[in-house]
Amino acid sequence: MNSPGLAPATGSRPAGRTGKGSNRRSVWQLVSLVAANLYALPVLKHLPYPFLHCYACPLAIGACPVGTVQYFLSLGRAPLFTLGALGAVGAWWGRRTCGWLCPFGFIQELGYRLGRRLRLPPVRVSNRHSWTRWVVTVLLVMLLPLAVHEPWFCKLCPAGTLEAGVPWLALDPALRAMAGPLFGVKLAILVGLAVAVLVVKRPFCRFACPLGLFYGLANRFSRQHLEVDSRCTGCGWCRELCPMEHEVWVDPRSSQCILCLECTRCRHVRLVSGGVPPTAKGE
């Protein structure tokens, strides 16, 4: 494996595998989006999703894990079941849930694809700024719920605004009449993100998502992770393929990696499950 300090090299890209995995991942993301909104199964409402999805969405069948954590903290109690469930998912999959199942992540990817169709110039933002996730998590998810007993992340979350706030106000005139300045702030955040996703890859996931931060920490010890072989030249192709613009050759177990496996189109990158790499014959 290459050393963390390896710089991108110039030259031709390595021979790659086909891009069929990308289409398969889109199917999984679409199925997850539909399955998360099957209101015919409201019996599951008390169980947390393994990804970010607002429980207040009109068709939601589960609870948002970040919202659940805030609720228990506002009561002065530890959300042991939710943290245990997320920990179990993270221990096996790391942050792969973000890349394959999260509806809000899927929506951001669709927004970026739209930006490419509109021929808007993409903007590359360094993942060095991902420390902002810690600010969001510590301040809005932990400290404020403990101090003021209100779920402040949920109050500002753009996923909640898109999936619950906008639909409910569109459906209920009484709620529209009750909308105050806070909803204007929520809407402004959502509009800002909607503009950003046209030119920046998954900005919410990279710089604001508390659940992504939690799963990202699990990347360090999860059974499923990426591995880069010694033949890698650091050409940067994996970064171009990555929805998170992650430099895989620098740190395959980075907290930014969502294990979408787009980078495995390069033959120097592979997925390792439980220590056994699924290497194709002849490689």
Q: How far is 247 from 81, CA to CA, in rounded Å?
A: 34
> Does residue 48 sit in helix, strand or coil?
strand
Inter-residue contact 174 to 96 (CB < 8 Å): no
Check pLDDT > 50 for residue 46: yes
**What average pLDDT does range 269-273 have in this prediction?**
93
Question: Is 57 domain-assigned?
Answer: yes
More confident residue, 10 or 105: 105
Check pLDDT > 50 for residue 260: yes
Residue-averaged pLDDT of the chain: 89
**What average pLDDT does range 116-124 have in this prediction?**
96
- Torsion (CA) 7, 10, 14, 17 in degrees, nearest 10: 80
Question: Is 111 domain-assigned?
Answer: yes
Question: Is 133 domain-assigned?
Answer: yes
Q: How far is 23 from 252, CA to CA, in rounded Å?
A: 23
How many structural domains does the chain have? Answer: 1
Question: Is 214 domain-assigned?
Answer: yes
Question: Is 177 domain-assigned?
Answer: yes
Question: Is 251 domain-assigned?
Answer: no
Question: Is 127 domain-assigned?
Answer: yes
Note the pLDDT of residue 1: 41
More confident residue, 45 or 262: 262
pLDDT digits (tens, 9 = 90+) for 200-250: 999 999 999 999 999 999 999 999 999 999 999 999 999 999 999 999 999
Helices (H), 197-279: 203-207, 210-218, 237-241
What percentage of the chain has pLDDT greater than the value 70?
Answer: 88
Question: Is 215 domain-assigned?
Answer: yes
What percentage of the chain has pLDDT greater than the value 90?
Answer: 80
**What average pLDDT does range 66-77 have in this prediction?**
95
Sequential DSSP letters for 262-281: GGGGBTTEEEEETTB--PPT
The rounded radius of gyration (Å) of the Cα atoms in the chain is: 20
Specify the amino acid at residue 138: V
> Does residue 19 sit in helix, strand or coil?
coil
Dihedral sign, Cα of residue 256, residue 259, residue 262, residue 266? positive
Domain that holds residue 194: 20-224
Check pLDDT > 50 for residue 281: no
Check pLDDT > 80 for residue 3: no
Q: How confident is the model at residue 13 (pLDDT cuts 50, 70, 90)?
A: low
